[in-house]
Chains A and B, each alone.
Chain A
Amino acid sequence: MKRQRLLANTFLFIFLLMFIVLPFVPLVLSSFSYNWKWPNVLPEIFSLSAWKYVLFDNSGTWQAIGTSLLIAFIVTAINIILAVPAANALVRYPLKGRWLFEAIIFAPIVIPAFVAVLGIHLTFLRFGLTETIFGVVLAHLSPTLPYVVRAAMTSYNTLSIDWEDQARMLGAGPLSRFYHVVLPHLLPGIAAGASLSILISLSQYLITFIIGSGQVMTLPILLFPFISGGDPAIASAYSLVFAGMAVAALLILDLALKRYYKKKQAAASKGVRE
Chain B
Amino acid sequence: MNQLRIIQLEKKFEDRKKDENPVFSLKPVHLTIKEGEFFSLLGPSGCGKTTLLKLLAGLEQADQGEIWIGETEITNVPPESRNFAMVFQQPLLFPHMNIEDNIAFGLKMKKVKRAERIERAREMLGHVGLKGYGQRFPDELSGGQQQRAALARALVSDPRVLLMDEPFSALDPSLREEMRILLSRIHQEFGTTVVFVTHDREEAFHLSDRIGVMSDGNLLQVAGAKELYEKPASIQVASFLGLKNILKGSAGKFGMENRSQQVELADSRKSSMTHLIIHPEKLQLSTDLEKQSTAEEIIFEGIVKQLRFNHGFYLCTVQTENTLLECSISSRQAETVSIGQKVKLSAQLKGLHFVSR
Residue of B nearest to A177 (CB): B80
* A9 located at the interface, meaning its Cβ lies under 8 Å from any Cβ of chain B in the complex: no
* A264 located at the interface, meaning its Cβ lies under 8 Å from any Cβ of chain B in the complex: yes
B109 touches A170 (CB 8 A): yes
Min Cβ gap A213→B in Å is: 46
CA A269 – CA B106 in complex, angstroms? 19
Contacts of A181 in B (CB 8 A): 94
Report the stretch among B110-118, B169-177, B234-242 that lies at the interface. B110-118
Contacts of B154 in A (CB 8 A): 169-170
A165 touches B94 (CB 8 A): no
CA A268 – CA B79 in complex, angstroms? 28
Q: Which of B16, B78, B85 contacts A170 (CB 8 A)?
A: B85
B-contacting residues, A171-226, CB 8 Å? 171-173, 176, 180-181, 184
Q: A184-B96, A271-B100, A271-B135 are in contact. Are A172 and B80 (CB under 8 A)?
A: yes
CA A168 – CA B170 in complex, angstroms? 22
A171 touches B110 (CB 8 A): yes
Contacts of B135 in A (CB 8 A): 268-269, 271-272
B118 touches A180 (CB 8 A): no
Contacts of A173 in B (CB 8 A): 80, 109
B153 touches A168 (CB 8 A): no
Min Cβ gap B158→A in Å is: 11
Q: How many residues of B contact A (CB 8 A)?
A: 33
A-contacting residues, B86-125, CB 8 Å? 86, 88, 90, 92, 94, 96-98, 100-101, 105-106, 109-110, 114-115, 118
B96 touches A274 (CB 8 A): no
Q: Classify the secondary structure of A's interface with B.
A: helix
Contacts of A168 in B (CB 8 A): 59, 78-80
Residue of A nearest to B115 (CB): A274
Contacts of A264 in B (CB 8 A): 96
Min Cβ gap A168→B in Å is: 5
B105 touches A180 (CB 8 A): yes
* B157 located at the interface, meaning its Cβ lies under 8 Å from any Cβ of chain A in the complex: yes
Q: Which of B78, B86, B101 contacts A271 (CB 8 A)?
A: B101
* A163 located at the interface, meaning its Cβ lies under 8 Å from any Cβ of chain B in the complex: yes
CA A167 – CA B105 in complex, angstroms? 8
CA A171 – CA B108 in complex, angstroms? 9
B-contacting residues, A94-109, CB 8 Å? 94
Min Cβ gap A257→B in Å is: 13
B157 touches A166 (CB 8 A): no
Q: Mark A142-177, 1 if CB is under 8 A from B, else 0.
A: 000000000000000000001101111111110010
* B62 located at the interface, meaning its Cβ lies under 8 Å from any Cβ of chain A in the complex: no
* B84 located at the interface, meaning its Cβ lies under 8 Å from any Cβ of chain A in the complex: yes
Min Cβ gap B136→A in Å is: 10
Contacts of B96 in A (CB 8 A): 184, 264
Q: A274-B114, A274-B118 are in contact. Are A170 and B106 (CB under 8 A)?
A: yes
Min Cβ gap A238→B in Å is: 42
CA A163 – CA B118 in complex, angstroms? 22
* B134 located at the interface, meaning its Cβ lies under 8 Å from any Cβ of chain A in the complex: yes
Which has the most chain A C-beta neighbours within 10 Å: B78, B79, B114?
Answer: B79
CA A173 – CA B97 in complex, angstroms? 18
* B57 located at the interface, meaning its Cβ lies under 8 Å from any Cβ of chain A in the complex: yes
Q: Which residues of A contact B (CB under 8 A)?
A: 94, 162-163, 165-173, 176, 180-181, 184, 264, 268-269, 271-272, 274
A-B pairs with beta carbons under 8 Å apart, 5 shown: A165-B86, A169-B85, A170-B153, A171-B106, A274-B114
The 3 closest A-B CB pairs, nearest first, are A171-B109, A170-B106, A169-B86
Q: Which residues of B contact A (CB under 8 A)?
A: 16, 57, 59, 78-81, 83-86, 88, 90, 92, 94, 96-98, 100-101, 105-106, 109-110, 114-115, 118, 134-135, 153-154, 157, 163
Given A172-B109, A264-B96, 19 more A-B residue pairs with CB atoms under 8 Å apart are A162-B88, A162-B92, A165-B57, A165-B59, A165-B86, A165-B88, A166-B86, A168-B79, A169-B80, A169-B84, A173-B80, A180-B105, A271-B98, A271-B100, A271-B101, A271-B134, A271-B135, A274-B114, A274-B115
